[in-house]
Amino acid sequence: MDESSYSSLEAEFGQKFHFACCDKQIDLALDLVKECPDLVWFRDPISGESPLHWSASTGNEALVQAMFDNRHPWNVLDKNGASAGEFAEKEGYVSIYNMILEEGVRAELILELLEQAQGLPEEVKDESPFSTTKEPSNKDYLGMDLKYSEDKLLDAEGNGKLLHLKKNLHVLNIGFGLGLIDNELQLRKPASHTIVEAHPDVYSHMLETGWGSKPGVRIIFGRWQDNMDAISDRCYDGIFFDTFGEYYRDMKEFHEQVPNMLSDDGTYSFFNGLGGDVKLFHDVYCRIAQLHLADLNIETTFSQITIDPSSAKIWDGVKRRYWQLQLYHLPTCKFISQ
């Protein structure tokens, strides 16, 4: 809703609600929600903050629940790019953060069910990780010219990408990119090493740098979706997935193939860039991925790795960083023991 679309009544109630939250007058705030349920759509014209931001700052679960009961979006950001979850976390309200997190998981799973049943509504299609199109999701990316520059791989828009296995195993990596993962895998001297790469410039770079002649290396050129018969001709002890220009629905589709290719004691992992520019979004999509993999009898544990992306000079001149948060959740996925 555009700021100019708010009625004077919604604006009036929005300001009153803000003041009530600042003063921790919870009963008054709850009464205002009852009197004007549509105030959940109000946004402060200066800060962009929402009633959910203010509710989260009070630490009151009943007030936050009232927001969700009146269809307040869980994922609204203020003009500084901060979510209501960050407002709660800043004040030390862990239970409120978790409430917003669980609402996000619930909302996104409902959107997925809607998509499966009848397609998403137009107003949410572009913002959902489950949105579908007739064209491949990474068609534009695969058509871009790429260039290798020292330790960067950049596309035509200036977007950038940075990046426990035993020896003698069979491994699979979807997406070569800079070759960081594949170089690490080569150090373990795998019995076979399958690499799937869809971008023609990256594929040419691989051939130019000798990857086509490395012992045990098999390169499959093309989108993994179009080459599953070739990929799934063997059982792998280790699988890693890291594509660019695809949606979460694409990775979910690949997850559904993993049980058919992973050995009983094998390990699967993926570059966990889900919602990688907002902490709350990242936590929501980590949970969603964990739930989806559990449906496939795969248990996912996340190792927390602290990083400071702003300190890396490698990002100089890069339009969009591949990772922007200070805490990365590294997934380790293995079959659940029976």
Mean pLDDT of the 256-281 span: 93
- Beta-bridge partners for 111: none
SS3 label, residue 338? coil
Q: Name residue, tokens 């051939």.
A: 207
CA gap 31, 78 in Å, rounded: 24
Please check whether residue 225 is in contact with residue 142, taking contact to mean a CB–CB distance below 8 angstroms. no
Q: Which residue has the higher pLDDT, 328 or 211?
A: 211
Q: Name residue, tokens 């959910």.
A: 52
Q: Name residue, tokens 């953060």.
A: 97
Mean pLDDT of the 279-294 span: 95
Q: What is the C-alpha R_g of the chain?
A: 23
SS3 label, residue 256? coil
- What predicted TM-score, i.e. pTM, was given to this entire model? 0.79
Please check whether residue 74 is in contact with residue 275, taking contact to mean a CB–CB distance below 8 angstroms. no
Q: For residue 145, what is the DSSP state? A: -
- Which of 14-18, 97-101, 266-270, 310-314 bottoms out in mean pLDDT, i.e. has the lowest? 310-314
CA gap 115, 132 in Å, rounded: 8
SS3 label, residue 99? helix
pLDDT per position as a tens digit, 94-138: 999 999 999 999 999 998 888 777 655 555 544 555 444 444 455
- Beta-bridge partners for 304: 329
The whole-number pLDDT of residue 151 equals 43
Please check whether residue 132 is in contact with residue 249, taking contact to mean a CB–CB distance below 8 angstroms. yes
Please check whether residue 26 is in contact with residue 61, taking contact to mean a CB–CB distance below 8 angstroms. no
- Residue 283: which of 327, 228, 323, 235 has the closest Cα? 327
Burial of 40 (0-12, 13-18, 19+ CB in 10 A): buried
CA gap 243, 179 in Å, rounded: 12
Rounded to 5 degrees, φ, ψ at 320 are -130, 120
Q: Name residue, tokens 């989806």.
A: 292
The whole-number pLDDT of residue 277 equals 84
- Beta-bridge partners for 83: 77
pLDDT per position as a tens digit, 35-73: 999 999 999 999 999 999 999 999 999 999 999 999 999
Residue 295 pLDDT greater than 50, yes or no? yes
Token pair for 268 = 């699967």
Token pair for 324 = 């922007």
Mean pLDDT of the 234-245 span: 90
Q: What percent of the chain clears pLDDT 70, i.e. is strictly above it? A: 78
CA gap 5, 67 in Å, rounded: 20
- Give the DSSP H/E element, type plus range, for residue 201: helix 200-208
Q: Which residue has the higher pLDDT, 26 or 149?
A: 26
The whole-number pLDDT of residue 111 equals 87
